[in-house]
Amino acid sequence: MVLEMKDLCVDFTGMRGKVRALRNVSLSIEKGEVLGVVGESGSGKSVTALSILGLLGSNATISNGEISYLGQNLLRLGPKEMQSLRGKKIGMVFQEPMTALHPTMKVGSQLAEVIKRHRGLSKKQAHKLAVEALKEVHIHDPELVAKKYPFELSGGMRQRIVIALAMSAPPDLLIADEPTTALDVTIQKEILQLIKELNDKRGTSVLLITHDLGVVSSVCDRVMVMYAGEVVEEGKTEEVLNAPSHPYTEALLHALPDLADPEEPLKAIPGEVPDLQNRPAGCAFASRCPKAMDICGVSVPALEPVSKNRSAACWLRRDTY
């Protein structure tokens, strides 16, 4: 097991008081596995990633749970140790590549710097490896690109460079939070292919966060669906998408336009995601769920196995396995 998170609860203290952003979130990633985290905005995807990286702000409290990375308890590490873990043992890629790049430094030098730091090489050796690294993320003419500044490159090129940076240590785990959301769909495909290729070739595990089920389907081995700060379903990607266990996953699939059946009216999900500040009692999806029962409005269903490779948090699925 590369990463294991158990029953994590994260609270934010703000002007309006305390909000529970994550509620008993558990997940695990095996070596070489790509785990997708999918959910709508505010469902807790980024907070999940930031918890692992130790990057939650000072207004956040982890009030329950454990995170272990390669057997090490991350919640016990000090800020210094976390910092050395980030970038080296865990690579990071975010939506906006510019946030990860130094704006006034040539991209080749940025890469060389990081490689030098991780591997203790000479400047010249590091530069050579930097060019190699650019080649590995399929940048044509890497010598030329190495001499450019980030602003001279397209969004897709920048994201390739961020991936090269993230993979330079190389890490055992890559955390990518909406890495293609700001990109055109044609470029998105190339970046997803690149992530998949690095995962295949190097056996790096990947935590891929996205709001797009299509993205999940094209690269993830397993998927975890989040809703209002909770994991509602988890399982093998194909199985979850073909036969969802949780009513929310099912509703989400029906709400998407289907290219194979474009005339079919969309089945919209009534209502909206609940405000975490006023999270209703019971199942968070109850007010929108077509299958809600009395118990759903009273008691929160826990995430439990419902079949061989699948877990769901729904009263309907209790005791079916």
Ligand X SMILES: Nc1ncnc2c1ncn2[C@@H]1O[C@H](COP(=O)(O)OP(=O)(O)O)[C@@H](O)[C@H]1O
The single residue listed with the structure tokens 């991936």 is: 163
Residue nearer to ligand X on the CB measure, 170 or 280: 280
32: CB partners within 8 A, 6+ apart? 199, 203, 204, 205
- Other Cβ atoms closer than 10 A to 54: 19
**Two structure tokens written together for 268:** 């919209």
Of residues 207, 221, 223, 205, the one with CA closest to residue 70: 205
For the record, the structure tokens of 167 come out as 């993979």
Report residue 256: phi and psi, to 5°.
Answer: -85, 135
Question: Of residues 26, 28, 32, 42, which one binds ligand X by CB under 6 A?
Answer: 42
- Angle at the Cα of 231 (from 255 to 309), degrees rounded to 5? 90
Q: Considering the rule CB under 5 A, would residue 188 count as an interface residue with Mg ion?
A: no
Residues 122-161 that bind another protein (CB under 8 A): 140
Give min distance, CB of 170 to another protein, in A: 26
CB of 232 to ligand X, least distance (A): 13
Binding test (CB under 6 A) with ligand SF4, winner from 91, 285, 303, 310:
285
Rule CB under 5 A: say whether 48 interacts with Mg ion: no
Contact string 286-315 vs another protein (x = CB under 8 A) = --x---------------------------
List the beta bridge partners of residue 173.
90, 205
The only residue of 289, 303, 306, 310 in contact with ligand SF4, by rule CB under 6 A? 289
Asked if residue 80 binds another protein (CB under 8 A), the reply is: no
Q: Could you identify the residue written with the tokens 């690579």? A: 91
Per CB under 6 A, 45 contacts ligand X: yes
Distance in angstroms (rounded) separating the CA atoms of residues 100 and 90: 14
**Kind of pairing, strands 60-69 and 3-14?**
antiparallel
Q: Give the DSSP letter of residue 211.
A: S
Among 7, 184, 197, 200, binds another protein (CB under 8 A): 184
Q: Is 269 in the site for another protein (CB under 8 A)?
A: yes
Q: Could you say which of 26, 28, 32, 40 contacts another protein (CB under 8 A)?
A: 40
Give me the residues paired with residue 52 across strands: none
Q: Minimum distance between the CB of residue 143 and another protein, rounded to whole angstroms?
A: 15
Question: In the window 240-259, what residues touch ligand SF4 (CB under 6 A)?
Answer: 246-247
**Quick check: 270 binds ligand SF4 (CB under 6 A)?**
no
Distance between CA 156 and CA 179 in Å, rounded?
Answer: 10
Residues in the chain: 321
Binding site for ligand SF4 (CB under 6 A): 246-247, 283, 285-286, 289, 291-293, 296, 301, 314-316
Interface residue list for ligand X (CB under 6 A): 12, 14, 21, 39, 41-47, 57, 59, 276
Q: Which residues bind another protein (CB under 8 A)?
A: 40-41, 140, 184-190, 192, 211-218, 241, 251-253, 255-260, 262, 265-270, 272-273, 288
